[in-house]
Amino acid sequence: MKDLRHVPFFLLSCTCLLLCAATPVRADIRREAEALVNWKASLAGSHESLGSWSLANSTRLCKWTHILCNSDGHISKLDLSGASLNGTLDRFDFWAFPHLEFLDLSQNDLYGIIPPGIGNLTSLVELYIFNNSLRGAIPRSIGQLKHLAVLELSYLELDGSLPEEIGNMTSLEVLYISSTTLTGSIPLTIGMLVKLQVLWLDNNNLTGSIPMEIGNMTELQDIYSPRNNLEGQLPGTISHLIKLQYFHLFENQLRGNIIPELWNSSFLETVDIEKNNFSGLFPSSICIGGAMHLVIAGYNGFTGIQPWTFRNCTTLHAIDFTENNIAADLRDYFDEHPGQLRVMDFSQNQLYGTLLTNWGEVFLCNFTYLKLLDLSNNALHGALSKCFWDMPSLSFIDLSSNSFTGVVPSSRTCKDSLNYLHLANNHFKGAFPLAIKKCRNLITLDLGGNNFSGTIPSWISKSLPGLKFLRLSSNMFEDDFTNFTGMSHEQGDIDYVDAGYYTHLEQIQIVWKNVDHIYIIMIAGMAGIDLSGNLLSQEIPGGLTTLLELRYLNLSGNHLSGCIPEYIGNLLLLESLDLSRNQLSGEIPPSFAGLKSISTLNLSSNGLSGRIPTSNQLQTLVDPSIYSNNSGLCGFPLEDCVSSSTSKHGETGQGEDMEALWLYCFVAAGFIFGFWLYWSIFLRHSETWGCAFYQHVDNMQEQFSKKVHSCIWCFQATRTKRARLVQPRSSFLSF
């Protein structure tokens, strides 16, 4: 009984304890639920999954979608990534979430500003607000987030600069502020982030120099801050970053020397400082750390590289020093241990010397992993070695614009890996290199601007079925040329050399002449043929018009005769056509009007005559000079054919020319026939060489009758067209 007296008191105190304990928790939780529901109500839209967010449901807060509670029933994680939130953060009561550790608002349609109240989320450890339309500045109160370890504020439309309070977030380990249009300089307080491992500030408009305080951030592993306007020199304190793995500062305006101590980190594997204004000697011992993979230092002002810099570089995959002022003998940088180098780009420097070792082999041929070799635009000389054809991984070779000489060595093999071969603008000579016949996966072949001579071999189209761009311009190729049927099938659009994480776009430089501008267009994946500036004679083969993928055709500056191929209009994709400075004659074929992509055209300095075909596309080419210096063209953009007296005058001249040509054809044919008859009688008895001779004469005759036939075609075309266009003239008909 004694005990029973205490029962109601016990119950009372129990109830009191329960109430006393439960009531404050409920109030806090209710506040969290209210804050979320109120904010949701302020939004113009949200994902249907937020349907469970209602006050009627507040007792089950921890079951709401996108929410995770801690053991006390408070919201610790709010993951609203991609929840179609349309609205602002103005009504978000940050103060209601003192236990929130994780907040993700990324990939929504939030606009307005990031409110200063965000600093009230004092327990926050991870904050992600990327890919929204938020504007304004980063609030200074962000510095109050003392426990924040990960902050991502990327792909926003913020302005202003990085607040110096950023240095107050001393727990920060990962900081991504990419593509947020920030301006101003990096605050010195950043050095206080001594736990920071990842620093991404890329694609902003940051100015000023990199503060020396960066040296205090000794945990840094990944600096990725390309595409800003950072200037000045790299601070020497960078040598303290002995855990550095990735160092990306490309496309800034940094200058001065690179200190050798940058390589202090034995973890350093990528250095990309392309497109800055660094100068001086590139420091040696780059591979001393033992982890270096990728060194991209193109488009700077480096004047040299310390000798033996790439010695012992067994882990190095790619080196790119394109467009610097490096004047050196390449052989001084490497030794006999080529390691795994894949990519080597020293284009547009002043490299000199040869590629040959003392015993005449190209030293580079031992680099069996090499996929891309670009040594174009240097001052290298000497011959090539045939070992080039045996390099097992090589996909891209560019040795253009050097002073290489001699004959391109022949070989019985060529590796299937070879796709792009550029040997232009050197002093190579001899016949079309036979070794190329085995390179059956070739996509681009550029032999322009050398002293190659002889015929363009007929095997090109069969042996190189994937060829997309063929440039043989400015050589001494002569005679007939061949059908390039390989380009007739559909091809992909973009070509690039893929060497792991280093990719290189295949680009061809072409000069497009248009009105009075010269455009340099870098193209990729375009089918083109450039045979300009050779000694090609005879006719343009009709087979060219089967190359339906052709976008660029330049045959200018040869001795081509006969007509423009009848079906040229089949080339619906052709954008640039240059047939100028040849001896083409006859009318422009009617199908010409079908070139519906043509934007650059030059037919000047030939013997063309008659009416220029019309089409919507041709009417856009208003410059008369593209037809100038022909024997008698008329029609837009030249003078009209019928009404103009000058054109009639031209036609008279043309008609007379035709008569002369026709007469010439017949006289010559008669002469050949007579000649053949004479010799056939004379040589009747000496049969042994007579046979061969007959055959030769037969061939001659065949060739000649082909020509006569083409004369007739041109002439007939001219005549029928003309008969329809103008009043027939008696001299014309009597013929």
Ligand X SMILES: *[C@@H]1O[C@H](CO)[C@@H](O)[C@H](O)[C@H]1NC(C)=O
Residues that bind ligand X (CB under 6 A): 44-45, 52, 54, 56-57, 60, 63-65, 86, 95, 107, 109, 116-117, 119-120, 131, 141, 143, 155, 164-165, 167-168, 181, 189, 191, 205, 212-213, 215-216, 237, 239-240, 242, 253, 255, 261, 264, 277, 279, 285, 301, 308, 311-312, 336, 357, 361, 363, 366, 483, 541-543, 546
- Nearer to ligand X among residue 114 and residue 424 (C-beta): 114
Q: How far is the CB of 5 from ligand X (least distance, A)?
A: 45
Beta strands in 507-603 (DSSP E): 508-514, 517-523, 527-530, 535-536, 550-554, 561-562, 576-578, 583-587, 600-602
- Nearer to ligand X among residue 325 and residue 625 (C-beta): 325
Give me the count of residues in the chain.
735
In the bound state, the residue with its beta carbon closest to ligand X is: 543
- Nearer to ligand X among residue 191 and residue 433 (C-beta): 191
- Nearer to ligand X among residue 542 and residue 728 (C-beta): 542
**How far is 114 from 142, CA to CA, in rounded Å?**
10
Q: How far is the CB of 691 from ligand X (least distance, A)?
A: 25
Cβ atoms 44, 108 nearer than 8 A: no
* 3-state DSSP of 369-404: CCCEEECCCCCCEECCCHHHHHCCCCCEEECCCCEE
Burial 305-328 (b: 16+ CB within 10 A, else e): bbeebbbebebbbbbbbbbbebeb
Burial 256-281 (b: 16+ CB within 10 A, else e): eebbbebbbbeebbbbbbbbbebbeb
- Alpha carbon of 170 to those of 113, 147, 185: distances in Å? 24, 8, 20
Q: How far is the CB of 103 from ligand X (least distance, A)?
A: 15
Q: How far is the CB of 516 from ligand X (least distance, A)?
A: 30
Q: How far is the CB of 52 from ligand X (least distance, A)?
A: 3
Indicate the SS3 state at residue 553. Answer: strand
Structure tokens at 532: 């300009």
* CB within 8 Å of 21: residues ≥ 6 apart: none
Q: How far is the CB of 141 from ligand X (least distance, A)?
A: 4
* CB within 8 Å of 260: residues ≥ 6 apart: 283, 284, 285
Q: How far is the CB of 187 from ligand X (least distance, A)?
A: 8
Burial 625-634 (b: 16+ CB within 10 A, else e): ebbeebebbb
- Nearer to ligand X among residue 120 and residue 473 (C-beta): 120
**How far is 235 from 262, CA to CA, in rounded Å?**
10
- Nearer to ligand X among residue 65 and residue 441 (C-beta): 65
- Nearer to ligand X among residue 171 and residue 279 (C-beta): 279
- Nearer to ligand X among residue 231 and residue 659 (C-beta): 231
- Nearer to ligand X among residue 384 and residue 626 (C-beta): 384
**How far is 206 from 273, CA to CA, in rounded Å?**
16
Q: How far is the CB of 461 from ligand X (least distance, A)?
A: 9
Beta strands in 22-93 (DSSP E): 67-69, 75-79, 86-87
Q: How far is the CB of 359 from ligand X (least distance, A)?
A: 8
Q: Are strands 75-79 and 67-69 parallel, antiparallel or unpaired?
A: antiparallel
- Nearer to ligand X among residue 447 and residue 547 (C-beta): 547
Q: How far is the CB of 689 from ligand X (least distance, A)?
A: 29
- Nearer to ligand X among residue 119 and residue 557 (C-beta): 119
Q: How far is the CB of 249 from ligand X (least distance, A)?
A: 15
Name the helix (H) or strand (E) containing 168. Answer: none
**How far is 689 from 447, CA to CA, in rounded Å?**
40
- Nearer to ligand X among residue 246 and residue 367 (C-beta): 367
Q: How far is the CB of 369 from ligand X (least distance, A)?
A: 13
Phi and psi torsions of 444, nearest 5°? -125, 135
From 56, 62, 63, 54, select the one nearest 36 (Cα to Cα). Answer: 54
- Alpha carbon of 203 to those of 178, 228, 245: distances in Å? 6, 6, 20
